[in-house]
């Protein structure tokens, strides 16, 4: 896979992540800052490291399953490797400017 194809797949991946919303906050998980890293390897496996707003999030399992399901449907992705981490812990500073504006933090 060349750099252009990788960039194209990663751009689609970000678009899909922006379509997934935290059930308790009206902002997508990408702009919330829940996605720590994205990488697509030469085998077309999407490696995603993400967190949750709180370790005891009652919707954690559903959110993780939605990410896996939607990412696996992206053209050019053969497999999804999703890692959940709480290090570093999520905080409001991880919000995008758009999310801060939407939530009234700006």
At 50 the pLDDT is: 97
The pLDDT of residue 23 is: 82
> Bigger pLDDT: 105 or 38?
38
Domain range list for the chain: 3-96
Reported confidence tier of residue 54, pLDDT bands at 50, 70, 90:
confident
* Cβ neighbourhood burial of 42 (10 Å; 0-12, 13-18, 19+): exposed
Q: Is the pLDDT of residue 106 over 80?
A: no
pLDDT of residue 99: 93
- 3-96: CATH, from 3.40.630.30, 3.90.1200.10, 3.40.50.2300, 3.30.300.130: 3.30.300.130
Q: How far apart are the first and last CA of the chain?
A: 41
pLDDT in tens, 13-45: 999 999 999 888 889 999 999 999 999 999 999
């Amino acid at each position: 896979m060349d750099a252009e194809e990788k960039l194209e797949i990663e751009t689609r991946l970000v678009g899909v992540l922006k379509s997934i919303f935290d059930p308790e906050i009206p902002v997508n998980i990408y702009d919330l800052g829940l996605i720590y890293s994205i990488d697509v390897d030469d085998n077309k496996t999407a490696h995603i490291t993400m967190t949750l707003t709180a370790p005891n999030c009652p919707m954690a399992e559903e959110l993780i399953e939605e990410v896996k399901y939607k990412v696996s449907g992206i053209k050019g992705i053969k497999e999804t490797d999703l890692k959940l981490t709480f290090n570093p812990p999520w905080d409001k500073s991880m919000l995008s400017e758009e999310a801060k504006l939407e939530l009234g933090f700006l």
